Amino acid sequence: MIAPSQKPLLILQTGHAPEPIRRAHDNFPQMFIRQGDIDPQQVVIVDLQAGERPLPPENYCGAIITGSRSMVTERLAWSEEAADWVRLGMLQELPMFGACYGHQLMAYALGGEVDYHPQGIEVGTHEVTLTPAGHLDPLVSQLPAQFAANLIHLQTVITPPATATVLAKTRHDPHQILRYGPHAVSTQFHPEFSLAVMKTYLSWLGSIAEDDSVDFAHQAQQLSETPLSQGLLLAFVGALGKRQALAG
């Protein structure tokens, strides 16, 4: 149970995993809970697409913003409201972690440009490389210069917010980790996706693909475990716990 003196962690759910993935691995919030080693009793999940809305940022110890099959450029009403909420969270220095759609939403909310990636989809397990700024970052510098991460995205942060710092890149995408301030970061990759989740995703994507521009079967053969990517999520969650302890 959440102690009266503690604030819960908000998981801002921006979408739902496809049915085959949910059936095998549960939904996006549960993936974050599992991969982040988070106590489910310390979490409040707010499903934006279902019409739910979060309380003001001061009611939470931090926020995780999930991925989605929607697109930030659709400017959906719930997404625009979430962008407003992110801006409020930044003003109050709320610790925030966004992944994929959450990454793009945070960048858009804070003045960046989001659109379809000119080279199309980035999918599979790929090598992420830290930038010089990443080597100096208090959270990201715990990672090695290069590490593996799982990715599935069509849209991307074309131009980061002017105040953001780029901490990592892949060959396909130069904006894999962004920092927006002392307590807010986001990743284009999915630290919440395990190897098993990615295998199911690629099988599903291969079954619904309308063209052969991407060899999903080949990408599936290149998958690997991504413990260092997951470690970034674990480090963020761990920092929240220390902050709570100091505040309490």
> What per-residue confidence (pLDDT) applies to 4?
45
C-beta separation of 105 from 67 below 8 A: no
Give dist(CA 180, CA 152) in Å, integer: 23
Beta bridge partners of 181: 184
- Model confidence at 2, pLDDT cuts 50, 70, 90, reads very low
pLDDT digits (tens, 9 = 90+) for 164-209: 999 999 999 999 999 999 999 999 999 999 999 999 999 999 998 8
Distance CA 218, CA 204 (A): 14
Model pLDDT for residues 200-243, shown as the tens digit of each residue: 999 999 998 877 778 998 999 999 999 999 999 999 999 998 88
Tell me: pLDDT of 153 over 80: yes
Quick one: which of 147, 186, 153 has its CA closest to 167?
Answer: 186
Each residue's pLDDT tens digit, 18-66:
999 999 999 999 999 999 999 999 999 999 999 999 999 999 999 999 9
Report, as an integer, the average pLDDT of 148-160. Answer: 98
Measured between alpha carbons, how far is 25 from 39 in angstroms, rounded to an integer? 18
Tens-place pLDDT, residues 124-136 = 999 999 999 999 9
Cβ atoms < 10 Å from Cβ of 70: 18
What's the one-letter identity of residue 66?
Answer: T
pLDDT of residue 3: 47
- The tokens of 70 are what? 């929607």
pLDDT in tens, 72-124: 999 999 999 999 999 999 999 999 999 999 999 999 999 999 999 999 999 99
